[in-house]
Amino acid sequence: MTLIEKILAAHSGLPAVIPGQIVDVSIDIRVARDFGGANVVKNIREHGLTIADPGKTFFTFDCNPTGSDQKYAVNQHICRLFARENNIPLYDIDSGIGTHLLIDKGYVVPGSTAISTDSHANILGAIGAFGQGMGDMDMTAAWAEGKIWFKVPPSVKMIFTGDMPDDISAKDFILNLLAIYGANSLLGTSIELYGKCIDKMSLDQRITISSMATEMGAIIILFPPSGKILKYCRLRSANDFEPVYTDNDAQYEKTIEINVAGFTPMVSRPGEPHDAVSADLVRGIKIDSAFIGSCTNGRLEDMVVAAEILKDRKVAPGVVLKIVPSTDDVWKECLRNGIFEIFKNAGALVSNAGCAGCAAGQVGQNGPGEITISTGNRNFPGKQGKGSVYLASPATTAASAVAGYITTAGNIPAEPAVFSSAALNDDSLPHRSISTKHVDAPSVIEGKVWVIMKDNIDTDMIFHNKYLSITNIKEMGQYTFDNLEGYRDFAKKAGPGDIVVTGANFGSGSSRQQAVDCFLSLGIKAIVAVSFGAIYERNAINAALPVVVCSSLDEIQLRNGHILRIDLKKGEITNLSNNLKTYSEPVSEVQFHIYRKGGLLS
């Protein structure tokens, strides 16, 4: 078996598993964050559930560690009270990013399983562990039962040859892969990395690469644990463990060989992490701000690299540089060894540990017209504010902050760029409230079609992160697609019983349940897509919203307003407006069972 297969088999009580098999996986560690935690508490109380094992159950407050938003503050306190009542460990606003804490505190070790309401929980692949981001329904079920259903993904083996150039960081490495494979060519796979350059990578480098599996559309990027990784984990874990490695005769969906000698420093252009190009192509673009941090690049090695560039230099006039370490331990180490002094002397703003701008709950947001270079993992429209965000490595970001424009560490000018005047553009729109309608559960459904044939519609486009503190489903529908260009009035026009038809990788990005619930709020009957983001698909299944995979939608010549009939069990789709028919993947028995009973927790 492959790495993912061996881990899932061991945690399912099975001698072996195969891709596509649905198994009940025992989850070693189950974590709810501050924006998803309140929903988990609500679900547990409403359904009269209990906690299976409080010692394996955690809250982590990393989205808004400043507690500066009133709704976040309310949700955090709900979680605090629930944690006290149920003896659940809680890492509060002074701790840092939950997925990092799981590794650094020894809760997760090679071969173990963990889930979080953080869509970057697959960061745990850095130590050869299974980590997944899941919605609040999944998390509730795992807290109550200690296990959750999961479909075994196909595995892809990547073998890296050649010598990596000295100026290539881990962030450049993963951006090169994103440029090659995009956001959905490896959709739903488990990727294993091998090669001489992989063996040499530190924990911090592995974390950077694994954290962006989500942006590639992959389930996880797994590193076979090296001797140094095993030593790190054993020093921190209270329990002994045996690492898991792939069998010599393991079967992969595909094996890919890549020569890293040609890798170059990369920058992702605004809007899509996979729109990554050579840094030379965007060099000279004037920036307003820079951000160093996030679960992707907030580790100590990232802080050291930034400090080496910023030492005895100043941030360019008018440019704002914001720096946020990933954990409090990294924060303290930066304080002890003088890194913060370098940052402050350079003119940077330093905040307490956490997710920062990536979660819209802390420093790092930008305004309309603002151009930001960031070490984050996502630059979807609206993700880090209303401006434009370029993604880059800590070295490129620090160098750009000094230059005043995008550049690399080897090309910092003697004098920084200066600003010219620029106009701002705020395109925010008003919304109206729409009540939730009941969704029936027949096996054959019909409805009026909304055709939105775009690929890679992410969860920020579906339901913007500025609304994540909303927990009442009745309030969610009005915000559906209000961050998707050309469809911001969707909620005003869509009606109960309508069906959405869309392209590949629909729902990529975050684990937020609201991106599903907003459709339920509007009474949308089903979503048909060429493919779905992995977390989004299971969130929709768990919420009893039919999600249908169909790769041949062109055959039925759909137009807005056509009437569509879907036979969920048979996998038949008929355009009743022209009597053309195509075929979809029939929904699985698990999906149909959850759909029929009205949701995972019903």
The CATH number that applies at residue 581 is 3.20.19.10
User: Residue 142's pLDDT is what?
Assistant: 97
| CA 347 – CA 341 distance, rounded (Å) | 10
Helix (H) or strand (E) holding 346: helix 339-346
Q: What is the CA radius of gyration of the chain?
A: 23
CATH number assigned to the domain comprising residue 351: 3.30.499.10
Is residue 327 domain-resident? yes
Starting at the edge strand that comes first in sequence, how are the strands of the sheet with 29-33 ordered?
A: 90-91, 57-60, 29-33, 113-116, 130-133
**3-state SS assignment for residue 514:** helix
Is residue 456 domain-resident? yes
Q: Does one domain contain both 160 and 11?
A: yes
Is residue 184 domain-resident? yes
Dump pLDDT digits (tens) for 358-402: 766 567 778 888 999 999 998 888 777 788 999 999 999 999 999
Domain count, the chain: 3
**3-state SS assignment for residue 264:** coil
Is residue 75 domain-resident? yes
Residue partners of 318: CB distance under 8 A and separation at least 6: 288, 404, 418, 419
Q: Does one domain contain both 230 and 279?
A: no
Q: Does one domain contain both 491 and 545?
A: yes
pTM: 0.86
User: Residue 72's pLDDT is what?
Assistant: 80
Of 217, 244, 262, which residue constitutes the final position of a domain?
262
Q: Does one domain contain both 133 and 58?
A: yes
Has residue 206 got a pLDDT over 70?
Answer: yes
Is residue 435 domain-resident? no
Q: What percent of the chain has pLDDT over 90?
A: 86
Residue partners of 506: CB distance under 8 A and separation at least 6: 457, 527, 529, 530, 531, 532, 533, 536
Is residue 430 domain-resident? no
CB 441 within 8 A of CB 544: yes
Q: Does one domain contain both 281 and 369?
A: yes
Q: Does one domain contain both 224 and 105?
A: yes
Is residue 553 domain-resident? yes
| CA 211 – CA 194 distance, rounded (Å) | 17
Has residue 534 got a pLDDT over 50?
Answer: yes
Q: Does one domain contain both 250 and 291?
A: no
Helices (H), 212-338: 213-216, 227-236, 279-282, 294-297, 300-310, 328-336
**Residue in this structure with the two tokens 């009269």, named with its chain if needed:** 48
User: Cα 45 to chain center, whole Å?
Assistant: 27
Of 235, 262, 289, which residue constitutes the final position of a domain?
262
Average pLDDT for residues 507-517, to the nearest whole number?
93
Q: Does one domain contain both 86 and 153?
A: yes
Residue 406: closest CA among 445, 374, 433: 374
Q: Does one domain contain both 183 and 281?
A: no
Of 411, 431, 457, which residue constitutes the final position of a domain?
411
User: Residue 401's pLDDT is what?
Assistant: 97
Q: Does one domain contain both 278 and 257?
A: no
Has residue 242 got a pLDDT over 50?
Answer: yes
Average pLDDT for residues 115-143, to the nearest whole number?
96
Is residue 419 domain-resident? no
Average pLDDT for residues 485-496, to the nearest whole number?
95
Q: Does one domain contain both 243 and 99?
A: yes
User: Residue 435's pLDDT is what?
Assistant: 35
Q: Does one domain contain both 507 and 390?
A: no
587 is in which domain, residue-wise? Answer: 444-597
Pairing of strands 388-391, 371-374: parallel
